[in-house]
A and B are shown apart, each in its own frame.
Chain A
Amino acid sequence: EDQVTQSPEALRLQEGESSSLNCSYTVSGLRGLFWYRQDPGKGPEFLFTLYSAGEEKEKERLKATLTKKESFLHITAPKPEDSATYLCAVQGGAQKLVFGQGTRLTINP
């Protein structure tokens, strides 16, 4: 059974303090690893899809990386508007996503 574990559950940073969020996964036949951002009361907003180990993608202050067992979402010099819950999900053999519980990120000004 496909599984995703995200850590930490919650992270509080000062503005400008860089850090990383972790996503560990087990999946049979990875078709893609997805990162989403979710604000309170809203649907998940797509950030990245990674397909193979060694792949990296960047968007503004965010950079996602992938190994055979985990993915990292690096956030560089974060701003208060980066505060949100970050969700990791894997897509295996079926057309469905298996999500982790998310990391709740708070950036203090």
Chain B
Amino acid sequence: KAGVTQTPRYLIKTRGQQVTLSCSPISGHRSVSWYQQTPGQGLQFLFEYFSETQRNKGNFPGRFSGRQFSNSRSEMNVSTLELGDSALYLCASSSGGVLGNTIYFGEGSWLTVV
């Protein structure tokens, strides 16, 4: 069974540009969440999608957005990049149930903003 797949694994962008990251969840999983990991702040929740609808959102500016497609694949977009957006962006998938659902993470996309 394939795990959570994230692309690209590494990318470098310039301040002011935008970036799109992609995530393919585990087959059968309908919930996809995104997290940002930095050395100073640790892992922080960005947003969660279930059946193409955003169910939860973290405390990030509107420059961070996402969407989920009918096949449960998800993308997140960051516009007008800032140096502080440099981080490991992690995607996680689960069945999305209220209880008893294990949350699995992908290997992440390393974003460097210069």
Contact = CB atoms under 8 A, between A and B. Distances in A.
Q: How large is the interface on B (under 10, 10 to 19, 20 to 34, 35 or more residues)?
A: 20 to 34
Interface string A73-109: 0000000000000010101001111111110000000
Interface string B48-70: 10100001101000000000000
A96 B102 contact: no
A34 interface: yes
**Chain B residues touching A, majority SS:** strand
Interface residues of A, number: 23
Contact of A100 (B33, B42, B44, B55): B42
Contacts, number: 57
Contact of A49 (B6, B43, B102, B108): B102
Contacts of B33: 95-97
Interface of B: 4, 6, 31, 33, 35, 42-45, 48, 50, 55-56, 58, 90, 92, 94, 96, 98-100, 102-108
